[in-house]
Chain A
Amino acid sequence: MSDLTDLYQSVILDHNKRPRNRGRPPTANRVATGDNPSCGDNCTVYLHLDPAGRVDAIGFDGSGCAISQASTSLMTTQVKGKTASEAEALFNEFKQIVTSGHPPEEMSDLAAFAGVHAFPARIKCATLGWHAALEAFKQPASA
């Protein structure tokens, strides 16, 4: 059985305690919400894209467990400055990490989530905010 300190790495505990980019940025004009119907957790991600299609403002709201809160917080820091396709590539890398448990060659904070793979029931928690963010990219910009 995997150790809990593998799951709850200090990066995760830190993001859970002090979430980055919480709340709706004033310029945000794209929004999407993700729900985890099995547990009632939810997460709303707000975006604003610059003319080149890069995220220049991002924030999130919602409630959930330490894994989903930390993962969403970390996601916002990683997706800032990225285009939709770059964000998607990052998500694919993240999914790889949480399902295989193998962090990529060059270490990033995302690797902190490698421990999730030993807790399959929690993979959905880790990806909730990412799904909402990718959905937000696809939304039409509101005026």
Chain B
Amino acid sequence: MSALLPASLRADFPILHQDVGGKPLVYLDNGATSQKPRAVIDALVRYYERDNSNVHRGLHALSMRATDGYEAARTRVARFIHAADPAEIIFTRGTTEGVNVVARSLAARLKPGDVILTTEIEHHSNLVPWQQAAKASGATIRYVPVLGTDAELGLDLDALDRLLTPQVKVFAFTHLSNTLGLMLDAAALCARARAVGAVTVIDAAQSVGHEPIDVQAIGCDFLVFSGHKMCGPTGIGVLYGRRALLDTLAPAETGGGMVVSVTYEGATWKPAPERFEAGTPNVADAIGLAAACDYLDAIGRPAISAHDHALAAKAHAALAELPGIRIIGPRLGQPRGGLVSFAFADAHAHDVVTFADQDGIALRGGHHCNQPLMRKLGITSTTRASFYLYNNEEEIDALVRSMHRILKFFAG
């Protein structure tokens, strides 16, 4: 398979070189979180050993170094997603916080009669905050339905046309479904939403570390993601917002660092990004995230995407041969990500994951924070294998061998 990345990349990830229960670790739970290359771990250690200080406040050498590092990270992330201006990058704890900040800030201007539109395939993180925003503002939440099952699953684009009325003030959708692997055409969806004047919010948690992202080409208003799924540290994420829009939004949180002047009567806000970063920010992990951007861009996301897809194609083809399997997600060749989600007639996802773990293989089994979708599909759980740049063909072989063993056990 020529689409595969060089096997030597695996050496960059210290954690992969271990046995689990006497078997070499096969880490196929990248949809949940990715592993970290040495370069990212080193950036964190270097920061804490040399530069650690508070930012934007001190006038001493360390504070200036920390501030420079933090702001350089912002610029680096802006470049990673082709944002026009580093001030459009707000550091958060992750995707979930990013959605919450946007939802709370936008809720302040929604009113009864307004519609928040999202889809039936959203992760709970891009669903519950919008339900809350609807409750708080009196707006109505509507969902673009999914059509079909298994390999035929897709968004109902005819329904989208009917649903996208001028009452729609917000359209929030995932770029890449963590449960199905279904990839949406973000630029096309944003163009349709823009035509009715809706603000667009994209959950790029699953895509940003795997696919090239250009927020200006996509034409979105907001885009959120987590560092930990793209080789970066946990506890850091990004809310991208179009500058013109950000400065009109009320902050979701207030406190130190985001104010211009404070009296006993009130306060005035700084512009973005500080307006949305109350309190001491997560400096170290922002710097770690910038190191992850460097790492991924050095390989190139087109090459990473091709690698993920080659592995997913191999896994998809081999798993499809197993008796009683349902593969839940788009067939190969459709717009999709590098993961395979499946369910067996004879073995429940939990049992599958426990078995695989005994073979050293880390999989995810469950509802994937997607309960309403699973209910609609008539299943309670799937097993998911999700691939990244350090996975290889031998690991797919191990996965398939393990699945054969499980089916033999439960059918026997």
Chain A residues in the interface with B (C-beta under 8 A): 1, 4, 7-8, 13, 38-42, 63-69, 119, 121-122, 125
- 11 sampled A-B residue pairs with Cβ under 8 A: A1-B22, A4-B355, A39-B350, A40-B366, A40-B380, A41-B381, A42-B380, A65-B350, A66-B347, A66-B348, A66-B350
Please name all residues of chain A whose beta carbon is closer than 8 Å to the beta carbon of B349 when the two chains form the complex. 39, 65
* Contact indicator B351/A67 (Cβ below 8 Å): yes
* Contact indicator B358/A1 (Cβ below 8 Å): yes
**Which of the four size classes fits the interface of chain B?**
10 to 19
Please name all residues of chain B whose beta carbon is closer than 8 Å to the beta carbon of A4 when the two chains form the complex. 354-355, 358, 409
Q: A39-B367, A40-B367, A40-B371 are in contact. Are A1 and B350 (CB under 8 A)?
A: no
The answer to the question of B410 belonging to the interface, with a C-beta cut-off of 8 Å to chain A, is yes
Of residues B354, B365, B409, which shows the largest number of chain A Cβ atoms within 10 Å of its Cβ?
B354
Chain B residues in the interface with A (C-beta under 8 A): 21-22, 347-351, 354-355, 358, 365-367, 371, 374, 380-381, 409-410
Please name all residues of chain B whose beta carbon is closer than 8 Å to the beta carbon of A38 when the two chains form the complex. 366
* Contact indicator A66/B410 (Cβ below 8 Å): yes
Distance between Cα atoms of A40 and B358 in the complex (Å) = 23
Distance between Cα atoms of A65 and B351 in the complex (Å) = 6
Distance between Cα atoms of A64 and B348 in the complex (Å) = 7
Identity of the chain B residue whose Cβ is nearest the Cβ of A122 in the assembled complex: B354
Distance between Cα atoms of A41 and B96 in the complex (Å) = 24
* Contact indicator B354/A41 (Cβ below 8 Å): no
Q: How far is the CB of B384 from chain A (nearest CB, A)?
A: 13
* Contact indicator A122/B21 (Cβ below 8 Å): no
Q: How far is the CB of B369 from chain A (nearest CB, A)?
A: 10
Of residues B350, B367, B380, B409, which shows the largest number of chain A Cβ atoms within 10 Å of its Cβ?
B350
Q: A63-B380, A64-B348 are in contact. Are A39 and B365 (CB under 8 A)?
A: yes
* Contact indicator B380/A122 (Cβ below 8 Å): no
Tell which of B21, B348, B409 touches A65, judged by Cβ atoms closer than 8 Å.
B348
Distance between Cα atoms of A40 and B379 in the complex (Å) = 10
Please name all residues of chain B whose beta carbon is closer than 8 Å to the beta carbon of A64 when the two chains form the complex. 348, 350, 380
* Contact indicator B366/A122 (Cβ below 8 Å): no
Please name all residues of chain B whose beta carbon is closer than 8 Å to the beta carbon of A42 when the two chains form the complex. 380
Please name all residues of chain B whose beta carbon is closer than 8 Å to the beta carbon of A7 when the two chains form the complex. 354
Of residues B351, B358, B366, which shows the largest number of chain A Cβ atoms within 10 Å of its Cβ?
B351
Q: How many A-B residue pairs have CB under 8 A?
A: 52
* Contact indicator A122/B350 (Cβ below 8 Å): yes
Please name all residues of chain A whose beta carbon is closer than 8 Å to the beta carbon of B410 when the two chains form the complex. 13, 66
Please name all residues of chain B whose beta carbon is closer than 8 Å to the beta carbon of A119 when the two chains form the complex. 354
Of residues A4, A38, A40, which shows the largest number of chain B Cβ atoms within 10 Å of its Cβ?
A40
Please name all residues of chain A whose beta carbon is closer than 8 Å to the beta carbon of B371 when the two chains form the complex. 40
Q: How far is the CB of B357 from chain A (nearest CB, A)?
A: 9
Distance between Cα atoms of A38 and B380 in the complex (Å) = 11
Distance between Cα atoms of A119 and B381 in the complex (Å) = 19
Q: How far is the CB of A62 from chain B (nearest CB, A)?
A: 9
Please name all residues of chain A whose beta carbon is closer than 8 Å to the beta carbon of B365 when the two chains form the complex. 39
Distance between Cα atoms of A1 and B19 in the complex (Å) = 12
Name the 3 nearest CB pairs between A and B, nearest first.
Answer: A65-B350, A40-B367, A1-B21
Please name all residues of chain B whose beta carbon is closer than 8 Å to the beta carbon of A63 when the two chains form the complex. 348, 380
Identity of the chain B residue whose Cβ is nearest the Cβ of A39 in the assembled complex: B366
- With A13-B410, A40-B367 already in contact, 20 other A-B pairs whose C-beta atoms are closer than 8 Å: A1-B22, A4-B354, A4-B409, A8-B351, A38-B366, A39-B349, A39-B365, A39-B366, A39-B381, A41-B380, A63-B380, A64-B348, A64-B350, A65-B348, A66-B347, A66-B348, A67-B350, A69-B348, A122-B350, A122-B354
Distance between Cα atoms of A8 and B352 in the complex (Å) = 12
Identity of the chain B residue whose Cβ is nearest the Cβ of A4 in the assembled complex: B358
Tell which of A1, A8, A68, A122 touches B409, judged by Cβ atoms closer than 8 Å.
A8
Identity of the chain A residue whose Cβ is nearest the Cβ of B411 in the assembled complex: A17
Distance between Cα atoms of A40 and B369 in the complex (Å) = 9
Identity of the chain A residue whose Cβ is nearest the Cβ of B20 in the assembled complex: A1
Q: How far is the CB of A8 from chain B (nearest CB, A)?
A: 7
Distance between Cα atoms of A14 and B173 in the complex (Å) = 44
Identity of the chain B residue whose Cβ is nearest the Cβ of A17 in the assembled complex: B410
Q: How far is the CB of A78 from chain B (nearest CB, A)?
A: 22
Distance between Cα atoms of A125 and B21 in the complex (Å) = 22
Q: How far is the CB of A120 from chain B (nearest CB, A)?
A: 11
Of residues B348, B355, B365, B367, which shows the largest number of chain A Cβ atoms within 10 Å of its Cβ?
B348
